[in-house]
Amino acid sequence: MALNDRYTPAQAVERTKVSLINNPHFSFMAGIMMIGNTVISEAIPTAQTDGRNVTFNPQFFMNLTDAEKRGLIYHEYGGHIMCQHLTTFGFLYKSNPKLANMACDYVVNQTIKDFNMPEFIKLPQGGLQDDRFRGMDSKQVFDILRTEDDGTDESSGDGFDSHDWEGARAVDATEQKAHAQEINQALRQSAMASKLLGHPVARDINDWLTPQIDYRQALREFAVSVCGGDDDSTYSRPRRRMLTNDIYMPTMQSNSMRSMLVAIDTSYSITNEHLRQLIPEVLGMCDAVKPEELHICYWGTQVVGHEVYTRDRQADILSTTKPASGGGTSIECVTQFMRDKHIEPTCVVVLTDGYLSGSWGEWSCPVVWVMTTDRRAPIGVNIRLTM
């Protein structure tokens, strides 16, 4: 007997959630589905989320098969909410709302198909799914869709649900950060419970929950490791990683660095919050390695801002730097700028989302990529910027 024969829409939604997490393959979602509010409303045609709350049209939900109900629940909670689509990819919505909706749906729906459990969970009719997008994230799918879009349809995109991007944007940065932490904690607790019960946890979920190195510490260690100044050993600050193995080793304490370049992507995907986090850490790196000269470049498809700070002016960076919007994302403009201006830094720090329109550039010095996404550069050191 189908759920709609026995329960109200609100009851059917809750019972569908329970039936989903009772399956060992989906038990890790238990905490995620407790986040936000569930609303039953005829004001929307099918289903909608703002990245935290989910609204269901009662008639649409009750007319689905039980497997489709589970597919819809997973689509909203295991896809848009757990992956934080509406905040992570808000910059895609600004560029093209229709394609942003489609890109996020393609990614979630491919996951549902690849469960290969059609008797238990399947897509409702109308769900966007294409095997060619397997293994891609929403930005990669978006870029492909953009090359294929003729611009004639300005609707919000096909699919069986809608996305409240404006509602997600209305949440301030503090609430967004708290929401992200809530999702991480819920996922971590549910995954731990699943493991204790002997239930499988998907590999990508395990990767997601792997503790990450503090990017601030990683940045400073990178700068010190490539410092071109005279190095002296000191036992005043032993290496902490060695101490965990009962080995007392000196830290290489560097006196100075000749030159450092910080290249900051100011395309529309980099937010003011990213800048507020990174720039103070640039000061921390300066304290650690004391560069004689610091170059800060703001770039998109070209370098749109170039600032030079001698050692005696570096403390003023926060009050004097002027980020300039770059548009687009081509790191090759930075390497070309370095050649044109004869800038030969000891090392380069790049802040970017990693979605470049060209190559990763050719570097004649060590480079560290501070990524705002999970993208990884094939050259240099990769550090994930944690908010």
Is the per-residue pLDDT at 106 higher than 90? yes
Within this chain, do residues 119 and 246 fall inside the same structural domain, yes or no? no
Is the per-residue pLDDT at 1 higher than 50? no
Within this chain, do residues 273 and 310 fall inside the same structural domain, yes or no? yes
Within this chain, do residues 51 and 92 fall inside the same structural domain, yes or no? yes
Q: Mean per-residue pLDDT for 201-210?
A: 56
pLDDT, tens only, 303-328: 999 999 999 999 889 889 998 887 78
Q: In terms of C-beta density within 10 A (0-12 exposed, 13-18 middle, 19 or more buried), how is residue 343 classed?
A: middle
Number of domains the chain is built from: 2
Tell me, what's the pLDDT at 198? 66
Q: Mean per-residue pLDDT for 320-348?
A: 91
Residue at which a domain ends, from 209, 241, 271: 209
- The answer to whether 303 touches 262, Cβ cutoff 8 Å, is no
Residue at which a domain ends, from 209, 225, 251: 209
The enclosing domain of 290 has a CATH number of 3.40.50
Closest CA to 134 of 104, 106, 97, 94: 106
Is the per-residue pLDDT at 228 higher than 60? no
Nearest-angstrom CA–CA distance, 92 and 101:
9
Is the per-residue pLDDT at 333 higher than 70? yes
Q: Domain span at residue 105?
A: 3-209
Within this chain, do residues 144 and 240 fall inside the same structural domain, yes or no? no
Nearest-angstrom CA–CA distance, 166 and 16:
28
| Residue 171 or 231, more confident | 171
pLDDT, tens only, 7-54: 899 999 999 999 999 998 898 888 899 999 999 999 999 999 999 999
Q: Mean per-residue pLDDT for 140-147?
A: 90
pLDDT, tens only, 109-136: 999 999 999 999 999 999 999 999 998 8
For the ranges 143-152, 193-202, 218-227, the one whose mean pLDDT is highest: 143-152
| Tokens standing for residue 188 | 């971590």
- The answer to whether 42 touches 58, Cβ cutoff 8 Å, is yes
pLDDT level of residue 83 (50, 70, 90 thresholds):
confident
